[in-house]
Structure 1
C-alpha cells in the first residue's frame, strides 16, 4: 500500500492510491467505496457492495479519456493484467500507465458494470493534464500546505494504520484486517470503518505531501456532481481510500473550478496494453505496486482452502525443478503454516507463514529454491492479453502481425532463441529483431551462441516488457510498418550522425536488418564523411565495423558491392594517412594508435579475403593480395621510422612476422637494434610492449624463439639501475598479461641461462617436449586415443598413415 504517485518522468506508470477506506452503509449518498488498489480483499468487498447497492452508475478513479475503452474490458480476448496507456501524440515517449489486475477493485467494478448494463465512467484528472503537468506547474501546486507533512504518510498511509495497530509490516496488517476477515453480514462495514481511519489521517496530515491531490480531488468532486445530476444520488464511486474524506468534504463548485483553472494540456491518445505481474511488484518501481501479485492473484482466484491450494502449487513447481517433494511434504507444510498462524495470533496463515513452512519443509531450510518460489509464484510472470480491436498505432498492428506470422510470441520470461539464418523463417525473425533494435524497441538482445560460432547462426535473448508498448508508439512516427519505420529511422540517424564511426556502425546494423532502401543513403553519407574526415583515428575506428558488415553478403544474400567499394577506399585512406599520424605521439596517444593499428590489421585480413573471393569468382585473384601487400608496406614504414613511438614500431614488426611478411632473422635484427645501448630504456621497453605485449601470443613467441628471448634477457640485465625503475612498470604490464603456464616456462628458460639453453638452431627450443626433429615414438602413442575419439577403428593402412602424418 502506498500513496498516490503521479508519473514524474517519461515512460513511468502513473500510480494510484493503495489505501483502504471509504464510506457507505447504503444510507449516505453517493456511495463511496474506498479501496486498496490491487487488493483482492478490496476487490471482493467492492463486488459484494455493488451487488447489494445496485447503483445506477459506477464512477471509477482513472483517466476520463479511457471511457470509450471500457467496453473492451468485456471482450473474451481481454486477459488481465492489462494497463491503460496514455501517451502524448506529439511526444509518444511522454506516457503514463494505469495497471489493472484481475484482483484490482477497479477491474472488478468495470466488469460488474458491463455484466449488469450499468454505465461506468472514469473520474480522475484527465491524462491530457497529467502528462503535461511536469512541464508547467499549476498554481495549486505552488501553494503551501496548511498542515504539517509526515513523510511516512506521504509514501504509505497503510503503514501508519498498521503501526497504530501494533504491526511492523503493513502487508501483514492488511491481510489480517481485510483479506482474512469476513464482512459479518454488513458488506458496507469495512468501507465505513476505514473511511473514518483515513479521515483521521487527513485531518492530521492534509494531503500527506501530495499537493497535486487537491487538484485531482477537485476534478473528482465535479465529476461526481455531474453524475448525480444525470443519475440521481444512486451513484457508486470506487477510488483510493485516501481520497474518500476529500470527496465527502463539502466544497463549492466555484472553489473546485478555481483549482482547475489554467492547467497545462497536451494532446493524448489512449489504449489498452498487456501488463505483467512482475511490473505490478513494488520492486519494479511502480509507485502503487505490491510485493506479491502472484499471491494476491491466488487469493482472489481460489474458491476455498487457499493455503492448501497454494502449497500444492508450490510443490508442483519444485517437482518441475527436480526436487523431491511428496504429498506428505504438502500436508506437513499446511500443518506448520496453520500452527505458525496460531502462535502469531493471526486469523489464518498468510504469505509469511506459508513461506516459512515452504522453507522448513519443502526446501530443507535453503533459501535457494525458496527464491525460485518467490520469483515464479509469489511475484509471477503472468502476461496479460489485449484484443485486436483495441486502438493501436499502425506500427503496433504490423508488429503484432509479424509476431504471429513468425511465431515469436511476446513473453515476460527471458528466453533464448537460436536462429539458423539459412532457414527463411529464422532469417525473417533475425531481420525483425534487428529492425526493432534500430527503432530502440529492445525486445531482443544478441547473445553469444553456445552451439556454433558460424556466421549463419544467431542467438537472441527475448523478454517483453510492458514499457516496450511505449517505445513502439514512439517509433510510430517513423512509419506505419516495421520495415518502413526502420528504414526511415536509419536514414535519419545517418544524416544526423556526428562521427564517421557512427555511420559505419549504422551500416553494420542495416545489413542484418535487411534495409535495402536505407543503404543507399547510409552509403552516400558514409562516403561523404570518409572523404571529408582527415582524422586517421576516426578512419581506423570506422573501417573494422564496415568490413565486418561484408560477411552478411554470404549467408543473408545481401548485395554488399557498394559497401565493399567504400571499405576499400577507406582502407586506402588509412594506408596513406597512418604513417604521418603516428609521428610524435605521447604515451597515451601511442597506446590508442596501437589499438587502431591492430583493428585495421584485422579488418584488412577480412577485406583481403572477401576481395579475393569476389575477384576469384570473376577470374582474378589479385585484389585481396594487393590490399594485404599495401598494408604490409605501411607496416614496414612504421617499423623503420624513428619518429614513430616504440610501441607502434614493435607492433608493426610483430604483425609482419605473424603474417609471414618478415623473416625471423630480420625480426631479431630489428629487435637487436632497438635493444642496443644507444636506445633509451623507456623507448626499448615500449618496443617490447608493442612486439610481445597485450597477451597476443607474444609469450609463446619468446618460448619458441630463444634468440628473441636472449635479446630481451641481455637487454634487461644491461639496463642501468637508475633507468630500471622507470621501465619496470611497462615491462611488468607486458609480461603479466601472459598465461601462468607461459610465464612459468619463460622463468624456467631464464633460470637455466643462455649456456644451458643453447641456440635454437643448434639444439632446438630448449623447452621440454620440443626438439628440432619429430619424436615419432611420442606421436604414435596418441594414435589409439585419436582413433577412439574420432571413431576410426576401421581405418585402412593408408588412412592410418595419413593420421600419423597429421599427428606429427
Structure 2
C-alpha cells in the first residue's frame, strides 16, 4: 500500500451490522450533506433502492441475486435496521439524494461461484458473494469489511498464525488494545461511545488509520478478488465525482478504505476487471431474519447478538434499563415471578460489574450476568430463552408487494394471504382438520411445497386425534426458502402447475418402484389430480416389469395408504384401487417361492415385508381382486401355505401362524397343535427357536398371548426345559432377543408363571397366600372397577360399562 494518497471523497469505513457504525454514519451524513451516497453492494440493485423507502419495507431484509438460468446459484446481501448501509440508503431517500451501489456486479460474483463449484448464499446461509473464494462478501464481512474467516470458527477458536490476514481484523485490533474478546472491545470503543460530541468524522478517521496499518502489514493477504472488487469501486467513485463533484460519500467495509483512498490509474483498474466471467442475473429484495444474521447460523459476517444490537440502535437513552425491562416482560410471560424490584437490582448489579471490569457502560455480558443472578436465580435454563427470544430474536422482515419476484413467488404470496398462512421466523405448530376446506387447502399447499423442495413445513406427530382427518405441521420460514422458490420457478408459474410438472418428471426419473408409489401418495396428499394419471402409468409399467417380491411388498403399503386419503380429502382414488389390487395379487403369487432357501438375515427382512403386506391388506379390506377372489381371503391362503411348508424358515412359518391366529382364521387349538409339532424332539432347536421368534417375538403382543394361553405357555416351557445342553447355547441369543422385547410387567408375570410351574394357573391348586394370586375371583374388587369403566366410556357407554363389569364379576 505504497501508492500516493490524495484527498478525495468522504470515505466512511464501517463494521457491517454495527449499530455504532450506523449511528456514526447518520451523524456524518447529517453534518456533511453529500450530493450522492455510494454504498458497498451490487450495482444491479440500483433500481431496487427506492423500494427501501416504502412504508411496508421492514428490515431485516436482503438483496437476493440469482442466476437466471440456474436459480440455485445465488447470493444474499443482508441488511438490518442497524446496518450502516441501510441507514445510509434511508438517509439518501429521505433527503432526495441519489444512492448507488458500487461493489463488483453480481453477474461476476455468481459466475465466480460456478467456477469455484460453491453453492449460493441461499444454500448454506452464508453471506453475500460466496463465489469469492477469499474475499469478503459484500455488506457482510466478518469484521469491518475484512476478509471473512473461511473456517467459520467463532472468535477465539482455531487461531491462525499472526501473519495470516484471514484473522479477523477486529480481533487483531482488540488484542493490540489488550482485550481477549473482540466483541467486548468493539462495544467499549464504538457501541458505548456517544455520537454527536466533537467531530463526527473522528471515529472513521481513527478506524481508517488502524486498517491502513493492517494493510501495510498484510497487503491484500493474497485475496486477489478483493483487489478486483476494490478496482471496480474506485471506477464507480470516479464516475460519481465526475457527475456530482466532490460531494461524494462512500459507505463501505473499513478494510477497503485504504485501497479506495490510494491513487490508482483508470487503466490499471480496468485491466483488473478485463475478462471477468459473467452470468445473466436477476435481483430482488427478500425478507431476512435476525437468526440468520447471527454468527451461529454460519453467516460469515454474522454477529453474536443481533437482537441486542437492534436494541442498542433503537434505544435513545437508558439502554440497560430498557433492556432489562424487556427481559422482565419476557420472563413474566413465561410465568416466572419477576418484579420491578428485580429489574432495579439487576440494573445495579450490571452497573457494578461494568465498573469492576473497567467498562464505560454495562454491555451484554454484564446484563446477562445480572439477569442470571437476579431474575433467573442462577439457572441457565430461563437464560437460554432470553438468548433465543431477545439476544438473537425472531424478527422477520417484510418487503413490498411491488418488489420484483418470479411468478411462482407471487402466486405463493397470494395463496399465503388467502389461507392466512403468514411466514414467520419463529417455529410454530399448525394443527389441521382436513374436514374443513381451509385446512385442507393449507395441507395441499404445504405438501406441494415439499414436493417442490421448499421445506417451509415439516410433518409432525399430532398430539391430539390420530385419525386420518388430522395433520400437524411444524412451520418455520427461513430466508433461503426464497431461493428454493426461485429454483422451483422453472417448473411452472403457479404452485399447482409447478408441483404437477415436478411430480410427473420425478415419476419418470424414479429409480425404484417404491419411489413411484411414494410419489403417488404425495400426489394425493397434495391434491395433484392432473399429475396422478401420469404417475399411475409409470407405476403400472414399473410394477409389471419388477419381479422382485421385496420391491413389490415395499410399494404396496404406500399405495394402500394413499387409498385412505380419498375418504377425507375427496380425491378420486379409483385408479389407485385397481393398481393396488393388481400389485397385491402379484405379491400373493410371488411370496411363497421367495420365502424358500433363505438365510437368517434374508428371512428377517422377508418377515418385515410380510408384516407390511398384512397391514396393507387389512386396510384394503374386502376390495375385489382379479379373478373374483377377495384380497383378504387370498392373503390368508398364502399365509396358510407358508405355515405348512418345511422349506420356509421357521421365523416365517411362526409369523404366518401368528397372523392367522390374530385374524381369527386359526383356532387356538390348531395353533397349539402346530406349535407342538414344531417343538417336538424331531425339530432342531435352532429352527424351533426361530419359529417361536416369529410367533411371539419382537414385542408383537406375544408375551401377553403366552400369559393368557396356558396351553401355549406350557408347550414353550416344556420345549425349553428339554433343549439339550449342547444346543442350548446356540438358541440362547435368539430366545433372549425374543423375550427381551416384552414389557417389564409381562416378563415378570412370565417369570412368576415359570417359577410356579405349568398347570397351576386359574385353579384351586394355587397355594394360599401366593403374592398376586388367589384361589378364586374377588367379586368385590371387580365391582369397584365399574365407576371407572363408566367414566371412561362416557354417558352413552353406561350400558356397555355395566356389561363389562358383569363380565368381570361373573
Normalization by structure 2: what TM-score? 0.90
Residues 414 and 461, structure 1, Cα contact 8 Å, conserved in 2: yes
Alignment of 1:547-696 (within 5 A): 547-608=560-621, 611=623, 626-696=630-700
Aligned with 1:177 (options 186, 189, 200): 189
> How far off its partner does 1:272 sit?
0.2
Deviations 1:625-664 (A, max 9, x none): 8211110110111111122111111111111111111122
> How far off its partner does 1:757 sit?
4.7
Residues 149 and 208, structure 1, Cα contact 8 Å, conserved in 2: no
Counterpart for residue 470 of structure 2: 457
Could you say if the C-alpha distance between residues 653 and 789 of structure 1 is closer, same or farther in structure 2, counting changes exceeding 3 Å?
Answer: closer
Deviations 1:455-478 (A, max 9, x none): 111111111111111111111111
Counterpart for residue 294 of structure 1: 307
Aligned with 1:167 (options 168, 172, 179): 179
Counterpart for residue 152 of structure 2: none
For 1:274 and 1:311, how far apart are their aligned partners in 2? 28
Counterpart for residue 326 of structure 1: 339
Aligned with 1:783 (options 758, 762, 786): 786
For 1:519 and 1:684, how far apart are their aligned partners in 2? 47
Counterpart for residue 362 of structure 1: 375
For 1:519 and 1:204, how far apart are their aligned partners in 2? 65
Could you say if the C-alpha distance between residues 701 and 141 of structure 1 is closer, same or farther in structure 2, counting changes exceeding 3 Å?
Answer: closer
1:67 paired with 2:46, answer: yes
> How far off its partner does 1:175 sit?
0.8
Could you say if the C-alpha distance between residues 209 and 296 of structure 1 is closer, same or farther in structure 2, counting changes exceeding 3 Å?
Answer: farther
Residues 149 and 205, structure 1, Cα contact 8 Å, conserved in 2: no
Residues 140 and 215, structure 1, Cα contact 8 Å, conserved in 2: no
> How far off its partner does 1:259 sit?
2.1
For 1:775 and 1:438, how far apart are their aligned partners in 2? 60
For 1:376 and 1:52, how far apart are their aligned partners in 2? 36
For 2:426 and 2:194, how far apart are their aligned partners in 1? 36
Deviations 1:64-97 (A, max 9, x none): 1111100100111100000000111111111110
Deviations 1:429-458 (A, max 9, x none): 111111111111111111111111111111
Counterpart for residue 220 of structure 2: 207
Range with greater deviation from structure 2 (623-632 or 249-258): 623-632
For 2:359 and 2:265, how far apart are their aligned partners in 1? 45
1:41 paired with 2:41, answer: no
For 1:569 and 1:188, how far apart are their aligned partners in 2? 80
1:712 paired with 2:725, answer: no
For 2:678 and 2:566, how far apart are their aligned partners in 1? 44
Counterpart for residue 93 of structure 1: 72
Counterpart for residue 169 of structure 2: 157
Deviations 1:213-267 (A, max 9, x none): 1221122122212222222232111100011111112222222222222222111
Deviations 1:552-593 (A, max 9, x none): 111111111110110000000000001111111121111111
For 1:384 and 1:55, how far apart are their aligned partners in 2? 29
Residues 449 and 457, structure 1, Cα contact 8 Å, conserved in 2: yes
> How far off its partner does 1:382 sit?
0.6
Q: What SS is found at the alignment partner of 2:758?
A: helix
For 2:730 and 2:804, how far apart are their aligned partners in 1? 52
Counterpart for residue 252 of structure 1: 265
1:477 paired with 2:490, answer: yes
Residues 607 and 624, structure 1, Cα contact 8 Å, conserved in 2: no
> How far off its partner does 1:273 sit?
0.2
> How far off its partner does 1:134 sit?
3.1
> How far off its partner does 1:211 sit?
3.3
Range with greater deviation from structure 2 (453-462 or 569-578): 453-462
Residues 550 and 564, structure 1, Cα contact 8 Å, conserved in 2: yes
Q: What SS is found at the alignment partner of 1:541?
A: helix
For 1:716 and 1:202, how far apart are their aligned partners in 2? 82
Range with greater deviation from structure 2 (406-415 or 128-137): 128-137
Counterpart for residue 6 of structure 1: none
Residues 154 and 210, structure 1, Cα contact 8 Å, conserved in 2: no
Q: What SS is found at the alignment partner of 1:52?
A: helix
> How far off its partner does 1:787 sit?
4.1
For 1:689 and 1:140, how far apart are their aligned partners in 2? 60
For 2:212 and 2:12, how far apart are their aligned partners in 1? 14
Counterpart for residue 32 of structure 1: 11
Alignment of 1:66-465 (within 5 A): 66-136=45-115, 150=162, 153-183=165-195, 184-208=197-221, 210-465=223-478
Counterpart for residue 156 of structure 2: none
> How far off its partner does 1:185 sit?
1.1
Residues 134 and 223, structure 2, Cα contact 8 Å, conserved in 1: no
Could you say if the C-alpha distance between residues 150 and 800 of structure 1 is closer, same or farther in structure 2, counting changes exceeding 3 Å?
Answer: closer
Could you say if the C-alpha distance between residues 485 and 768 of structure 1 is closer, same or farther in structure 2, counting changes exceeding 3 Å?
Answer: farther
For 1:677 and 1:250, how far apart are their aligned partners in 2? 100
How many residues are matched?
765
> How far off its partner does 1:750 sit?
1.1
Residues 211 and 255, structure 2, Cα contact 8 Å, conserved in 1: yes
Could you say if the C-alpha distance between residues 672 and 772 of structure 1 is closer, same or farther in structure 2, counting changes exceeding 3 Å?
Answer: farther
> How far off its partner does 1:789 sit?
5.5
Residues 108 and 278, structure 2, Cα contact 8 Å, conserved in 1: yes
For 1:681 and 1:803, how far apart are their aligned partners in 2? 43
For 1:801 and 1:703, how far apart are their aligned partners in 2? 26
Deviations 1:463-504 (A, max 9, x none): 111111111111111111111111111111111111000000
For 2:45 and 2:162, how far apart are their aligned partners in 1? 33
For 1:634 and 1:553, how far apart are their aligned partners in 2? 29
For 1:444 and 1:278, how far apart are their aligned partners in 2? 18
For 1:623 and 1:775, how far apart are their aligned partners in 2? 55
Could you say if the C-alpha distance between residues 628 and 471 of structure 1 is closer, same or farther in structure 2, counting changes exceeding 3 Å?
Answer: same
Q: What SS is found at the alignment partner of 2:112?
A: coil
> How far off its partner does 1:303 sit?
1.4
For 1:460 and 1:141, how far apart are their aligned partners in 2? 39
Could you say if the C-alpha distance between residues 232 and 276 of structure 1 is closer, same or farther in structure 2, counting changes exceeding 3 Å?
Answer: same
For 1:220 and 1:702, how far apart are their aligned partners in 2? 82
For 1:648 and 1:799, how far apart are their aligned partners in 2? 39
> How far off its partner does 1:759 sit?
9.4
For 1:777 and 1:352, how far apart are their aligned partners in 2? 67
Counterpart for residue 725 of structure 2: 721
Range with greater deviation from structure 2 (201-210 or 585-594): 201-210
Could you say if the C-alpha distance between residues 153 and 142 of structure 1 is closer, same or farther in structure 2, counting changes exceeding 3 Å?
Answer: closer
Range with greater deviation from structure 2 (527-536 or 181-190): 181-190
Structure 2 stretches of 5 or more lacking a match?
118-130, 136-159
Q: What SS is found at the alignment partner of 1:85?
A: strand
**CA RMSD in angstroms, aligned pairs only:** 2.7
